[in-house]
């Protein structure tokens, strides 16, 4: 597919590196941590013309139609899967950053059961994704800061929801930007670069999915935060999809599709800063198709589990046990406190519903303790594990 020769490229500028660290460490390394280094200069894209060749335009249209189709299919059923798909997307987006954890561990972390740090960070990403959808009707720099604040408030509280005030780079040494693969624009340029980006996001004269992809690449190359850029940038994608009404009811797990070929994804982000937006548009569109396939398989697996429950749950229809079974699609690991909250009943009534579902084979207790008990809907957890395994296998 042909590149766009008119799209603005990132530039570079030479900057002085000032760090007391340059005076310490092995003598052989000190010279490499001194002297000027090159940092990126962000392209201005607010009013730039995006030219896509016929093949890329057709791919954008096809992927957009598939997203809308999933969003519109069996709307009544899909609504109950919205939270499940959001959680799988948050997990896949985190996996791109090498933050992995099992669906059960993530669900336990959502209950406040402290375990692996990765699970806690993925739960924070669920919150950031949720916040992205909440602010989709007003996409501006404040919305971006709000997403990042939710993502990082427990892991980097001093920097959460604030533009960075120091240099960041990818690759090379952690001590200085010298020899890095990429050095993001100096921090003083970030606020204006982000305002320019959000003016681009506000445009309504571009194919929505192409606009999403380009905005994502611009965001990632600005790298406006000290950490959490990838996850915040992918949350922005979903806010844009919702804002453009490509999605109204569900989150398409695009990150699971990007996991299929992360090398191409990162290469497309690199190509973008040279002035070629086509690779990232193509990569995002291509990611849509395996993402939708995975989403449908996940929904089919969970629907099959719910059908089995219909023959095994012996409570009357409308009883608390049935309402709790429906809630397990969104929250497959529960304790009595969460069950009471989901059902709007007392803890005692919630426990009765749990006991009914345990007896009927829907819930299993995790562990054997008699106090502070937790239960899981094994079939839902296993469906989520299969979804993650399929995405992981595509990366191999």
Q: Is 317 exposed, middle or buried (0-12, 13-18, 19+ CB in 10 A)?
A: exposed
- Domain harbouring 204, CATH code: 1.10.3290.10
How far apart CA 157 and CA 149 sit, in angstroms, is: 8
98 is in an annotated binding site: no
238 among known catalytic residues: no
pLDDT of residue 314: 87
From 296, 327, 345, the end of a domain falls on: 296
Q: What is the pLDDT of residues 310-326, one digit of tens each?
A: 999 988 777 899 999 99
Residues 368 and 224 reside in one and the same domain? no
Asked if pLDDT for residue 210 goes beyond 70, the answer is yes
Residues 33 and 177 reside in one and the same domain? yes
396 is in an annotated binding site: no
Mean pLDDT (the chain, rounded) = 92
- Domain harbouring 366, CATH code: 1.10.10.10
154 is in an annotated binding site: no
Q: What is the pLDDT of residues 58-74, one digit of tens each?
A: 999 999 999 999 988 75
230 is in an annotated binding site: yes
Residues 281 and 354 reside in one and the same domain? no
Percent of the chain with pLDDT over 90: 83
Enclosing H/E stretch for 62:
helix 54-72
Catalytic residue among 148, 178, 223, 243: 223
Backbone angles phi, psi at 17, to 5 degrees: -100, 120
How far apart CA 119 and CA 334 sit, in angstroms, is: 16
Domain count, the chain: 2
Q: What is the CA radius of gyration of the chain?
A: 23
Give the closest residue to 376 by CA, choosing from 388, 384, 386, 366. 366
Q: Which residue has the tokens 């604040």?
A: 149
Backbone angles phi, psi at 316, to 5 degrees: -70, 150
275 is in an annotated binding site: no
Range of the domain at 139: 11-296
Asked if pLDDT for residue 377 goes beyond 90, the answer is yes
Averaged pLDDT, 194-205: 98
Asked if pLDDT for residue 206 goes beyond 90, the answer is yes
Could you tell me if residue 94 is inside a domain? yes
Residues 262 and 336 reside in one and the same domain? no
Give the closest residue to 200 by CA, choosing from 50, 364, 355, 391. 50
Residues 266 and 365 reside in one and the same domain? no
pLDDT of residue 191: 99
Could you tell me if residue 3 is inside a domain? no
pLDDT of residue 88: 95
Residues 166 and 285 reside in one and the same domain? yes
Averaged pLDDT, 96-113: 93
Question: What are the DSSP calls for 175-189, one per residue?
Answer: S-STT-SEEPPPGGG
Residues 110 and 153 reside in one and the same domain? yes
Could you tell me if residue 6 is inside a domain? no
From 296, 329, 354, the end of a domain falls on: 296
Residues 258 and 325 reside in one and the same domain? no
Q: What is the pLDDT of residues 291-300, one digit of tens each?
A: 999 999 999 9
From 261, 296, 331, the end of a domain falls on: 296
Averaged pLDDT, 336-347: 96
């Amino acid at each position: 597919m042909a590149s766009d020769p008119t799209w603005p490229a990132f530039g570079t500028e030479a900057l002085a590196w000032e760090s007391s660290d340059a005076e310490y460490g092995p003598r052989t390394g000190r010279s490499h941590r001194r002297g000027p280094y090159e940092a990126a200069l962000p392209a201005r894209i607010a009013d730039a013309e995006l030219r896509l060749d016929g093949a890329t335009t057709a791919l954008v249209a096809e992927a957009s139609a598939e997203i809308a189709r999933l969003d519109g299919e069996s709307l009544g059923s899909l609504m109950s899967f919205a939270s499940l798909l959001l959680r799988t997307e948050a997990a896949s987006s985190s996996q791109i950053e090498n933050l992995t954890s099992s669906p059960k561990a993530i669900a336990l972390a959502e209950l406040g059961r402290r375990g692996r740090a990765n699970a806690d960070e993925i739960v924070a990403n669920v919150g950031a994704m949720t916040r992205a959808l909440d602010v989709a009707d007003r996409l501006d720099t404040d919305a971006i800061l709000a997403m990042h604040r939710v993502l990082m408030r427990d892991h980097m509280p001093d920097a959460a929801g604030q533009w960075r005030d120091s240099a960041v780079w990818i690759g090379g040494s952690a001590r200085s930007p010298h020899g890095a693969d990429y050095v993001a624009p100096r921090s003083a340029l970030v606020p204006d670069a982000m305002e320019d980006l959000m003016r681009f996001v506000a445009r309504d004269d571009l194919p929505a999915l192409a606009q999403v992809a380009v905005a994502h690449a611009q965001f990632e190359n600005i790298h406006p935060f000290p950490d959490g850029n990838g996850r915040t940038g992918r949350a922005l994608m979903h806010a844009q999809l919702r804002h453009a009404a490509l999605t109204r009811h569900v989150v398409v797990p695009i990150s699971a599709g990007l996991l299929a070929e992360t090398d191409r994804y990162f290469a497309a982000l690199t190509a973008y800063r040279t002035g070629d937006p086509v690779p990232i548009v193509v990569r995002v569109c291509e990611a849509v198709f395996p993402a939708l396939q995975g989403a449908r398989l996940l929904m089919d697996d969970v629907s099959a589990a719910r059908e089995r429950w219909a023959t095994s749950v012996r409570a009357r229809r409308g009883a608390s046990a049935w309402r709790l079974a429906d809630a397990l699609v969104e929250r497959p690991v529960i304790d009595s406190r969460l069950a009471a909250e989901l059902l709007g009943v007392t803890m005692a009534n919630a426990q009765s519903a749990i006991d009914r579902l345990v007896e009927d084979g829907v819930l299993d207790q995790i562990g054997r303790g008699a106090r502070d008990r937790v239960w899981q809907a094994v079939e839902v957890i296993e469906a989520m594990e299969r979804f993650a395994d399929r995405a992981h296998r595509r990366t191999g």
